């Protein structure tokens, strides 16, 4: 798509967050309706975002067509009637009502068309600990530190009584899809999660919400006619922590004992009793992270990760003083990982709910799996050597400044770090994507818990 000239938007007064938006009759009682009518109806939370869309546009961000004033469902247009297009293939048929939809939504940055996530915070930026800590982690050398797995902060949009923080577009791991394909892919998740937690604790930051995992897959261009690729196939992924709304930053001289209730979905035992004594949030973080990583590995892929079970059990012991620190857990994990050969890390794994395989099926699937692993390894090596990727220094430096990663990491994972080529949504018609990918896209904006974004090359030495 050709670049379009960008003109500064007209200023629009902040309309205020519409907390008083009423529920419609359809939201308070069951009414029979067709799929077309169901998708054409805006819910309360969607109408809230629609009312502030003109103001967001004046700040340089554009919501999808569904949330713009005057929206008419695309499947109601004569052109769609003539083609008999199914509603599942209409991007603006995706409703926005999942968990966190009242505070998060996806958008496009008008200046360059980048797909981003907006998160609404009901206070001024100066009064939000989430903004303060996220900005702190996104500044200077901290942003360049490869151990830093906090999500990059792209912008802060300020309103008189609210603020909106802008992140790269991300997707939750909670749907468990796409499934992990190899032992090495799970190991990448565990290592980056522990590394990110260790980095935060080294800065005396207790996350206090380390209970849910998210990831980000960078992409270029529209989502139509694409297939889901494995993490190994794309050269690896990178995970980032997000949501520092519950986080606490301690000064070096401060005591780390607190008596604050946590909103996390995974609670360490010492944080639960009403008459609890002050507890150490760093040790509670270790418990929460161990619980989450155990669920994503030992429980979801039963029979493959017995070597990690003692580590997770140690992280989840009832006595906080018996748990390892995040740094010790990371060191212990790396010792375990070193005991695996490169070939073993590429072994195929099956999700717990996958269909059972007989001997013949297993042999066929294993042979196909190893063939793909060899092809992926060769393809990624060619990319690293510059055969299939543009290594123009100015282009890569632009990518690195955009995603705040070092050039070496960017070159190792060339398929994961590319410019979004979506340009100026304020003047270009919306692109319509395939139904499955559009639904995947919509679920990415749920940036309401601890988050990891993917971009780690497992084939790199």
Check: CB of residue 443 under 8 Å from CB of residue 235.
no
Q: What's the fold here for domain 25-168?
A: Phosphorylase Kinase; domain 1 (3.30.200)
pLDDT in tens, 159-178: 999 999 999 987 777 666 67
**pLDDT for the residue 376:** 79
- The pLDDT-based confidence of 215 (bands split at 50, 70, 90) is low
pLDDT in tens, 76-117: 876 655 455 678 778 898 889 887 889 999 999 999 999 999
- The pLDDT-based confidence of 234 (bands split at 50, 70, 90) is low
Question: In the 8-state DSSP scheme, what is residue 182?
Answer: B
CA distances from 437 to 113, 228, 447, 455, 458 (A): 19, 9, 18, 19, 25
pLDDT in tens, 124-143: 888 899 999 999 999 999 99
pTM: 0.77
Domains 25-168 and 171-220+229-353 are alike in CATH topology: no
Q: Mean pLDDT lowest for which of 5-9, 102-106, 238-242?
A: 5-9
Q: Mean pLDDT lowest for which of 291-295, 306-310, 381-385, 394-398?
A: 394-398
Taking 50 as the threshold, does the pLDDT of residue 33 lie above it? yes
453 vs 239: CA distance, rounded Å: 3
CA distances from 292 to 269, 272, 450 (A): 15, 18, 10
Residue from 113, 115, 93 nearest 105 by CA = 115
Domain boundaries, the chain: 25-168, 171-220+229-353
345 vs 333: CA distance, rounded Å: 14
Torsion over CA: 94, 100, 103, 106 (sign) = negative
Residue from 271, 269, 309, 272 nearest 293 by CA = 309
**pLDDT for the residue 255:** 92
Q: Which residues of 82-96 are buried (b: 16+ CB within 10 A; e: fewer)?
A: eeeeebebbbbbbbb
Taking 80 as the threshold, does the pLDDT of residue 357 lie above it? yes
Check: CB of residue 289 under 8 Å from CB of residue 165.
no
Read off the tokens for 300.
């979801």
Q: What's the fold here for domain 171-220+229-353?
A: Transferase(Phosphotransferase); domain 1 (1.10.510)
The mean pLDDT value for 17-28 works out to 75
């Amino acid at each position: 798509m050709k670049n379009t000239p960008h003109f500064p938007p007209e200023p629009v007064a902040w309309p205020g967050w519409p907390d008083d938006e009423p529920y419609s009759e359809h939201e308070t009682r069951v009414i029979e309706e067709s799929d077309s009518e169901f998708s054409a109806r805006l819910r309360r939370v969607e109408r809230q975002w629609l009312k502030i869309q003109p103001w967001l546009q004046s700040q340089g961000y554009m919501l999808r067509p569904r949330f713009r004033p005057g929206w008419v469902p695309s499947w109601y247009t004569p052109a769609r009637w003539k083609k008999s297009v199914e509603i599942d293939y209409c991007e603006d048929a995706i409703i926005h009502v999942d968990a966190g939809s009242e505070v998060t939504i996806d958008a496009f940055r008008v200046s360059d068309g980048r797909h981003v996530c907006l998160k609404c915070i009901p206070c001024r930026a100066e009064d939000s600990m989430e903004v303060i800590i996220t900005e702190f982690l996104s500044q200077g050398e901290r942003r360049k530190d490869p151990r830093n797995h906090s999500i990059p902060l792209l912008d802060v949009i300020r309103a008189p009584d609210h603020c909106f923080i802008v992140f790269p577009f991300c997707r939750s791991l909670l749907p468990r899809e796409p499934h992990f394909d190899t032992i090495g892919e799970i190991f990448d998740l565990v290592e980056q999660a522990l590394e990110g937690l260790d980095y935060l604790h080294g800065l005396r930051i207790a996350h206090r919400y380390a209970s849910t995992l998210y990831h980000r897959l960078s992409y270029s261009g529209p989502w139509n006619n694409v297939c889901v690729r494995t993490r190994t196939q794309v050269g690896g992924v990178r995970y980032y922590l997000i949501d520092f709304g519950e986080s606490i930053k301690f000064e070096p001289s401060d005591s780390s004992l607190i008596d604050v209730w946590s909103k996390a979905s995974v609670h360490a035992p010492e944080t639960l009793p009403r008459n609890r004594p002050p507890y150490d949030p760093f040790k509670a973080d270790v418990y929460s992270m161990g619980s989450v990583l155990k669920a994503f590995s030992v429980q979801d892929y039963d029979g493959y990760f017995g070597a990690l079970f003692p580590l997770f059990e140690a992280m989840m012991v009832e006595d906080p003083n018996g748990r390892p620190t995040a740094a010790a857990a990371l060191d212990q994990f790396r010792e375990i990982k070193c005991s695996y050969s490169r070939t073993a890390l590429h072994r195929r794994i099956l999700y717990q709910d996958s269909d059972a395989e007989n001997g013949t099926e297993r042999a066929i699937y294993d042979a196909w799996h190893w063939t793909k692993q060899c092809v992926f390894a060769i393809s990624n090596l060619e990319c690293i050597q510059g055969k299939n990727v543009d290594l123009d220094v100015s282009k890569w430096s632009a990518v690195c400044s955009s995603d705040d990663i070092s050039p070496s990491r960017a070159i190792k994972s060339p398929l994961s770090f590319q410019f979004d080529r979506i340009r100026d949504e304020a003047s270009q018609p919306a692109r319509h994507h395939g139904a499955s990918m559009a639904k995947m896209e919509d679920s990415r904006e749920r940036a309401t818990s601890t988050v990891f974004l993917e971009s780690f090359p497992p084939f790199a030495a």
